[in-house]
Amino acid sequence: MNTINETRPPLPPFTRETAIQKARMAEDGWNSRDPKRVALAYTLNSVWRNRSEFPHGREEIEAFLTRKWANEVEYRLIKELWAFENNRIAVRFAYEWCDQNGNWFRSYGNENWEFDENGLMQKRFASINDLPINESERKFHWPLGRRPDDHPGLSDLGL
């Protein structure tokens, strides 16, 4: 159960503007590559499906993200709102990363999110595909961390 002071505005039900804000906040969190910070956006008993892994709860989410970002070096992510209704948001995303051997990838996917009344994500279902790319094919060139406001989004990049 969440404590009374655990809220993550904007809260549902979402409008188009607040759903876009929520997606950008998630993008910013993930681009921090800070597993502890990111895990705080989820309920204590959050349920995930991420590829073939099914983390449950913040502790497992934090461990999952720690492993993920140890392997996905130079990680940069863009999320874009796809749809929303009440307490649910769907986004599409792409992220670029390289492995420990210097091989580059662009990973594409979709996520379906469900939030509790406090704005914490209680369910996250992600479907992801990886495409090997050459370093010269990269499109995400900002310094590690938050994507600059003037950097193109997925639709602008033709992704």
Express each pLDDT in 60-73 by its tens digit.
Answer: 999 999 999 999 99
Residue/partner pairs of 101-104 with CB below 8 Å, 24 or more apart = 103/132, 104/132, 104/133, 104/134, 104/135, 104/137, 104/138
The pLDDT mean for the chain works out to 96
Q: What is the pLDDT of residue 113?
A: 98
Instruction: Classify domain 16-92+109-128 at the CATH topology level.
Output: Nuclear Transport Factor 2; Chain: A, (3.10.450)
- Cα(134)–Cα(136) distance, rounded to whole angstroms? 5
Per-residue pLDDT for 105 more than 60? Answer: yes
Domain limits, the chain: 16-92+109-128
Q: What are 1-14's pLDDT values in tens digits?
A: 455 579 999 999 99
Per-residue pLDDT for 74 more than 80? Answer: yes
Share of the chain above pLDDT 90, in %: 97
